[in-house]
Structure 1
Amino acid sequence: MALGPRLDLRQSQSLVMTPQLQQAIKLLALSNLEVEAFIAEEIEKNPLLEAGGGEAGERDEAPGADEVFDGDGFDGDGIRSDGFDEDGPTADRLVEAGDALADAPLDVDYTAETFHHDSAADSPRGMDGSLGMDGVAGGGVDEGRGLDDYATATLSLHDHLTAQAGELLDGFELAIAARIIDLIDEAGYFEGQTFEIAQALDVPLFHVERVLGVIQTLDPTGVGARSLAECIALQAKEADRYDPAMAKLIDNLDLLARGAIPQLRRLCGVDEEDMADMIRELRDYDPKPGLRFGGEPPAPVTPDIFVRRTGGGWAIELNAATLPRLIVNRAYYAELSGGPQDKGSKAWLGECLASANWLVKALDQRARTIVKVAREIVKQQEAFFLHGVEHLRPLTLKAVADAIGMHESTISRVTSNKYLMCERGLHELKYFFTSGVAAADGGDAVSAEAVKSQIAKLIAAEGDDILSDDKLVELLKDKGFDLARRTVAKYREAIGLGSSVQRRRQRAMKAA
């Protein structure tokens, strides 16, 4: 066969990840609040996009969603005329199509009465915008906070210490203080080395030690300590309770952690009553004094989906309060395209329209997909919603993907960073996907979360008879859970419960 250059023609099919397809995939993994921020950025870049309502026939919208299914399944016709019917395209189909150029409005009846509502919350069914979930714990509502709380929270520990150091120190000592404060962690502990600071600033070591001593007198008491014992000692000195017995107790905190009370009494030279008083005093001290100046308070988790039981089954609704309506302003597009414009301006305007159309469709399909996945989760875990965590079933992403005809990666993106609010509280969608534990009687497997709940209940009710892991294995087997001892220990540690030895020591310390 001769070697040489030649031309060949080949036909092949491939899915090209265009920017629009990447955007659709990215939207699936975003929470409602992140989508809101994303939409705000797109509105700034695209003059054809708006947030809010508009005139019928001139604008496309990406509506919210709600869906209802009865005890045997969901309604095949969907819930609202602008809702998400069973035959609507999914996110997988959107990615496969990848057509962002077609100027085709969503198939929505803009004159329908329901279109003038933001969500099912405004419908005659009496929902209050959160499917009646306002009274459920964990709803993300930040109530009961006053202005003083916010003022304190916005003041960081470093700012608080710097302001105090500026009143007590000046000159090179203030520079040393600034370096020391920079090395204090959020809990209030000094994590640096005084000799390293002395070398870096070329100052005598005793000056650094002196400045550190000044910082250790600042508010909050105990800040600047290099260890837990020093932190407690600073607070004991401030309370004028740092006597020889207390000093000995603080120097032997490891014995206290092990519950060696008789040995501590001998070291401190006190009787049982004095030892009990000293331990009570220790409990009043703050082991992490800096955390009261933690900066901005953590943002409350906002639910993306509401689930509520109704007379006919379950109502599922996206949180419309965190999902603004997006509009393509076709009247403005017609006005711009009708005026004089060069070739470059016309191409730019066409790109804006294509991008706006795609984003609206992508948001609409995102909402459809989320509701469809949430619907299947509720269907699979209905026993949990009815009876609680002990009835949570093992569930995998693949099981949901197969049930609704989507790819497993799509389910993974949909369930990331999204929270569901129901009568059982606020849960991340990932919470409903748990591994299974074999039943002792050979029946259906149970969820690992259900086992953890049982372990927590048994330990909470153990009383004076502390349950060992072996005893927990026996009790769980009586309840139908076939578990090995190491598995029980793993689940116990996962829910933050100590071993039987640790719990026995804690109980002895409380009784002291």
Structure 2
Amino acid sequence: MKQSLQLKLGQQLTMTPQLQQAIRLLQLSTLDLKQEIHEFLESNPLLELDDDELLHNETPASIESKSTDNSVDSNSSEEARVESEWTENIPEELSIDSSWDDTYQSSAAVSDNNSYEGDGDFESRNAPTESIQDHLIWQLNLTHISDRDIEIAYAIIECVQPDGYLSISTDEIWESLAVELEDLDIEEVIAVQHRLQRFDPVGVCSIDLRDSLLVQLEAFQNHPLYKSTHNLIDHYLPLLGNRDFAQLSRKTKLKDEALKEVVDLIQQLNPRPGSVIDADDTDYVIPDVAVKKRNGTWQVELNNDALPPIKINETYSAMATTSAVTTEDISYIKTSLQEAKWFMKSLQSRNETLLKVASCIVSRQIDFFELGEEAMKPMVLHDVAEEVGMHESTISRVTTQKYMHTPKGIFELKYFFSSHVSTASGGECSSTAIRAMIKKLVSDEPAKKPLSDNKLAIILADQGIQVARRTVAKYREAMNIPPSNERKRLI
């Protein structure tokens, strides 16, 4: 193929390094951003924690306002004059689609051996989580049994699932052990299993729900309805699962009051005993903004303790003027100073955007804060983007993994966005408000005759909200509300 030169016109999105950094910080959660700040503090000597701000508990907004001057606090006018002399050649912005290394040597390079791995909370980040097997083995080591029984117990514990039940039957466990242990009888395996079932949490190592509940019920042997409860679990558990109380009453010969006491006793037992030992890591939430009502007005404030206050290190910034510093050191200090200023400016921009978007959300959802979920108004990203003068993608970033502390609880900012359903009067009702109405109707429904999805749709239609039955079912399932046949209660 013959080579040739061609001239083409095209468009592409270009961003400065500052904008790229600002966008990246904007989409980080508070916990991730806190770690990002600590990593930057470790890699850039020109940035340090502002201990004075920590002592005086000033708000993040006041901290950020100090960073907008793009100047370093000094103890004398002479230091300020010297700084202006050696910083005047630092450009205000880098060229578009360039990187830090194109203009400066990287000041963020840290060796692998000295890299910062966390925010100081070493124990919580690195502590091993305990599984149900670990918990059972710990108890087994404190139990005085023979070596043969210990080997059987280990085989059983290995088959325990996270919910506490065995993944295979005792017969299969016996068959796998019979190869290694001579003259092993199935009764030996069952005996060890029964002993493990009394470990904490009681009911683990069971084959099925019936077996686990009967073991847990042993703690209530002095209860006056123990025998009736044992009989129900042993023979009529499927009827209880289907909430067929009429059949249960006939089969067990119990009246409604006594049957209700039996059901209440069963509900005190744990159908998933292994869930008590939760090996999953806990997710912590730090609110980014707080909403309070003062003098009849709802006000939005940034969380004072969400992020550590930072400032420019005066000692290192002044080192560029000393004779002992080489040209290479001066270049490094200039690079680090500019990166520190840009980082602080990006943090300021993030907080300003977050505060602006949160204030807009609160102003549009005043009825929610005054009256509750049923008064939530429909709102989409475009509505907020148009009001604050930003792109929808920016609103999406600033509302993801950002949380608001309100008198009604802590909510993710995305919680306040919902689609709308047209009402009979020509207005609009948000899907969040509809879910709240469904939840209220279910909580007030008759105990013996719960409302079906179709009946809920009819009641909402009578209130002027036209929703299909399948839509009601979708909202109900999203709120983890069981269907009507599973919500039936005796009283």
Length-normalised TM-score, structure 2: 0.73
Q: Does 2:76 match 1:65?
A: no
3-state DSSP class of the match of 1:314? strand
Structure 1 432/251 Cα, relative in aligned 2: closer, same or farther at 3 Å? same
The structure 2 residue matched to 1:454, chosen from 427, 437, 445, is: 437
Structure 1 450/95 Cα, relative in aligned 2: closer, same or farther at 3 Å? farther
Structure 1 496/14 Cα, relative in aligned 2: closer, same or farther at 3 Å? closer
What is aligned with 1:162? 137
What is aligned with 2:116? none
Once residues 347 and 162 of structure 1 are traced to their aligned partners in structure 2, the CA distance between those partners, rounded to angstroms, is: 60
What is aligned with 1:445? 428
Deviations 1:91-120 (A, max 9, x none): xxx9997798799xxxxxxxxxxxxxxxxx
Contact 1:154 1:295 in 2 (8 A): yes
Shift of 1:447: 0.7
Deviations 1:252-279 (A, max 9, x none): 3111122334544565577777655543
Structure 1 stretch 186-195 or stretch 488-497: which is displaced more? Answer: 186-195
What is aligned with 2:166? 190
Once residues 355 and 271 of structure 1 are traced to their aligned partners in structure 2, the CA distance between those partners, rounded to angstroms, is: 77
Q: Which has the higher contact order (CA 8 A, sep 6+)?
A: 1
3-state DSSP class of the match of 1:420? strand
Contact 2:374 2:437 in 1 (8 A): yes
Shift of 1:10: 7.4
3-state DSSP class of the match of 2:481? coil
Contact 1:100 1:355 in 2 (8 A): no
Once residues 152 and 334 of structure 2 are traced to their aligned partners in structure 1, the CA distance between those partners, rounded to angstroms, is: 61
Shift of 1:493: 3.0
Count residues with an aligned counterpart: 427
The structure 1 residue matched to 2:36, chosen from 35, 38, 42, is: 38
Structure 1 178/413 Cα, relative in aligned 2: closer, same or farther at 3 Å? farther
Once residues 64 and 348 of structure 1 are traced to their aligned partners in structure 2, the CA distance between those partners, rounded to angstroms, is: 29
3-state DSSP class of the match of 1:235? helix
Structure 1 454/11 Cα, relative in aligned 2: closer, same or farther at 3 Å? closer
Structure 2: any 5+ residue segments left out of the alignment? Answer: 69-92, 105-127
**Which amino acid is 2:299 matched to?**
A
Structure 1: any 5+ residue segments left out of the alignment? Answer: 56-61, 67-79, 85-93, 104-152
What is aligned with 1:425? 409
Contact 1:188 1:290 in 2 (8 A): yes
Contact 1:63 1:82 in 2 (8 A): no
Once residues 317 and 422 of structure 1 are traced to their aligned partners in structure 2, the CA distance between those partners, rounded to angstroms, is: 11
Structure 1 4/461 Cα, relative in aligned 2: closer, same or farther at 3 Å? closer
Once residues 38 and 233 of structure 2 are traced to their aligned partners in structure 1, the CA distance between those partners, rounded to angstroms, is: 58
Q: What are the equivalent positions in structure 2 for 1:174-189 lying under 5 Å apart?
A: 174=150, 176-178=152-154, 180-189=156-165
Contact 1:472 1:488 in 2 (8 A): yes
Q: Does 2:397 match 1:413?
A: yes
What is aligned with 1:488? 472
3-state DSSP class of the match of 1:507? coil
Structure 1 37/287 Cα, relative in aligned 2: closer, same or farther at 3 Å? same
**Which amino acid is 1:235 matched to?**
Q
Q: What are the equivalent positions in structure 2 for 1:17-416 lying under 5 Å apart?
A: 21-53=19-51, 64-65=60-61, 157-168=132-143, 169=145, 171=147, 173-174=149-150, 176-178=152-154, 180-192=156-168, 195=172, 199=176, 203-204=180-181, 206=186, 209-237=190-218, 239-240=220-221, 246-247=230-231, 249-264=233-248, 275=259, 278-294=262-278, 298=282, 301-311=285-295, 313-335=297-319, 338=322, 340=324, 347-416=331-400
Structure 1 214/20 Cα, relative in aligned 2: closer, same or farther at 3 Å? farther
Structure 1 354/193 Cα, relative in aligned 2: closer, same or farther at 3 Å? farther
**Which amino acid is 1:65 matched to?**
A
Structure 1 51/202 Cα, relative in aligned 2: closer, same or farther at 3 Å? farther
Once residues 312 and 464 of structure 2 are traced to their aligned partners in structure 1, the CA distance between those partners, rounded to angstroms, is: 57
Shift of 1:222: 0.5
Once residues 19 and 455 of structure 2 are traced to their aligned partners in structure 1, the CA distance between those partners, rounded to angstroms, is: 55
Structure 1 stretch 238-247 or stretch 38-47: which is displaced more? Answer: 238-247
Structure 1 426/272 Cα, relative in aligned 2: closer, same or farther at 3 Å? closer
Contact 1:473 1:483 in 2 (8 A): yes
Structure 1 330/172 Cα, relative in aligned 2: closer, same or farther at 3 Å? farther
3-state DSSP class of the match of 2:141? helix
**Which amino acid is 1:286 matched to?**
N
Two-structure CA RMSD over aligned residues (Å): 4.0
Once residues 304 and 433 of structure 1 are traced to their aligned partners in structure 2, the CA distance between those partners, rounded to angstroms, is: 17
Shift of 1:286: 2.1
Once residues 155 and 344 of structure 2 are traced to their aligned partners in structure 1, the CA distance between those partners, rounded to angstroms, is: 52
Structure 1 170/344 Cα, relative in aligned 2: closer, same or farther at 3 Å? farther
Once residues 381 and 491 of structure 1 are traced to their aligned partners in structure 2, the CA distance between those partners, rounded to angstroms, is: 21
Shift of 1:15: 4.0
Structure 1 40/82 Cα, relative in aligned 2: closer, same or farther at 3 Å? closer
Length-normalised TM-score, structure 1: 0.70
Structure 1 19/171 Cα, relative in aligned 2: closer, same or farther at 3 Å? farther
Contact 1:304 1:319 in 2 (8 A): yes
Once residues 169 and 20 of structure 2 are traced to their aligned partners in structure 1, the CA distance between those partners, rounded to angstroms, is: 49
Contact 1:255 1:261 in 2 (8 A): yes
Contact 2:316 2:333 in 1 (8 A): no
Structure 1 4/455 Cα, relative in aligned 2: closer, same or farther at 3 Å? closer
**Which amino acid is 2:135 matched to?**
H
Deviations 1:133-169 (A, max 9, x none): xxxxxxxxxxxxxxxxxxxx98764443222111334
3-state DSSP class of the match of 2:489? helix
**Which amino acid is 2:200 matched to?**
D
Once residues 35 and 435 of structure 1 are traced to their aligned partners in structure 2, the CA distance between those partners, rounded to angstroms, is: 30
Once residues 26 and 450 of structure 1 are traced to their aligned partners in structure 2, the CA distance between those partners, rounded to angstroms, is: 33
Structure 1 82/95 Cα, relative in aligned 2: closer, same or farther at 3 Å? same
